[in-house]
Amino acid sequence: MLSYTLRRIVTVFLPTLLGISVLVFGAMQAIPGDFVDIMIGLGPDVSDEQRDAIARSYGLDAPVPVQYVVWLGDAVRGDLGTSLRTGQPVSREIVNRLPATLELALLATVASLLIAVPAGVLAAVHRNGPIDLIARLGGLLGLSVPNFLLGTLLILFVSLHWPVLPTTGFVPVSDGLLANVRSLVLPAVSLGALLAASITRMTRSALLEELGKEYLTVARAKGLTDRGVVLGHALRNALVPVITVVGIQTGYLLGGTVIVEQLFAIPGIGRLALDAVLQRDYPMVQGTTLFIAGSFVMINLLTDVIYGLVDPRIRRQ
């Protein structure tokens, strides 16, 4: 298992991260406008000599490839630059905002799994029945409604008809676990609806395929109950494609937090990135984009490792 994990890191994880860093750095370089002018303004009281001195102090007078190598070396050491607006290190700002985003993404993922996997199993076992119809309809709605629209509808409904949950704001765990969870219920539902719909559909499809195979007939002939056959044999083999969906969609959750955190006023990384874009804080945009993309790649790596744990055949490839 260790050799499989190391092979995935060397052949997939590190090259992908390197490619992402090139794209992120190149995108920032392609943005119109001079970085120094954006940083100090366009006032007439700043001379060309002063601009050149500032450019040299930040290494902006060097060729672009040299700037990239220096920036990449700093990023590897955890230095993502300094925010133009706050003057604080970008990495520190990301660490300060990370707990809220992690809580939101974790709650959305766990809630989606607890709801979607049983729903997919029941839909497959009761194929073409009322439960299957409800599960498929719910999956279709979850895939069709974007998270910003669902979040807006939830805010309106709760505010007008069911005011039992806070519609905006974030309560940290230090102020009480119950208050913290209550502040994240609506954002987690908005963020996790797409994931739940995808997991439900994939669980149903994969389990239906397994239920038609001959080894289950042999298991029943040995005296196993239907529950034992489904949960002990069919579901385990059906989990590989489900893990694929969970891994990919969980990575997309981090991108979805940009809108959801802004909508529900949650001080997470997504909102930090959006504020940086609106304020033209390019080091912050660059750092948050690299962090979110790197997190997506890390989640995919963990998905590959879980593949190997669930299906030993994958480790031998």
Where is the domain boundary, 43, 76, 109? 76
268 and 180 part of one domain: yes
24 and 119 part of one domain: no
User: What is the domain count for the chain?
Assistant: 2
Tokens 């044999």, residue located: 233
141 and 48 part of one domain: no
244 in Cβ contact with 195 (< 8 Å): no
18 and 147 part of one domain: no
26 and 154 part of one domain: no
144 and 6 part of one domain: no
Where is the domain boundary, 76, 107, 129? 76
* Domain assignment of residue 196, yes or no: yes
The span from the CA of 93 to the CA of 96, in Å, is 5
Residues 6+ apart with CB under 8 A from 64: 29
80 in Cβ contact with 74 (< 8 Å): yes
* Domain assignment of residue 292, yes or no: yes
70 and 102 part of one domain: no
pLDDT at 284: 86
272 and 306 part of one domain: yes
* Domain assignment of residue 239, yes or no: yes
Spell out the per-residue pLDDT of the chain, length 317, in tens. Answer: 667 677 777 777 788 888 888 888 887 777 766 666 666 655 556 666 777 776 776 666 777 788 888 888 888 888 888 887 787 888 999 999 988 888 888 888 888 888 888 898 888 888 888 888 998 888 888 888 888 888 889 898 888 888 888 888 888 888 888 888 888 999 999 888 888 888 898 888 888 887 777 676 666 666 666 676 777 667 777 777 787 777 777 777 777 788 888 889 888 888 888 888 877 777 888 888 888 888 888 887 777 777 667 666 655 55
* Domain assignment of residue 85, yes or no: no
153 and 262 part of one domain: yes
Nearest Cα residue to 100 out of 259, 263, 261, 287: 261
pLDDT at 241: 78
* Domain assignment of residue 206, yes or no: yes
* Domain assignment of residue 84, yes or no: no
* Domain assignment of residue 90, yes or no: no
What are the backbone angles phi and psi of residue 32, rounded to the nearest 5°?
A: -60, 145
Mean pLDDT of the chain: 80
236 and 104 part of one domain: yes
Range of the domain at 291: 98-315
Q: Which two tokens stand for residue 242?
A: 């489900």
67 in Cβ contact with 22 (< 8 Å): no
Q: pLDDT, tens digit, for every residue of 212-261?
A: 776 766 666 666 666 767 776 677 777 777 877 777 777 777 777 888 88
204 and 301 part of one domain: yes
pTM check: above 0.85:
no
pLDDT at 219: 67
163 and 263 part of one domain: yes
* Domain assignment of residue 271, yes or no: yes
Q: Which two tokens stand for residue 196?
A: 């739940």
* CA 285, 84, 79, 109 torsion-angle sign: negative
For residue 246, the domain's CATH number is 1.10.3720.10
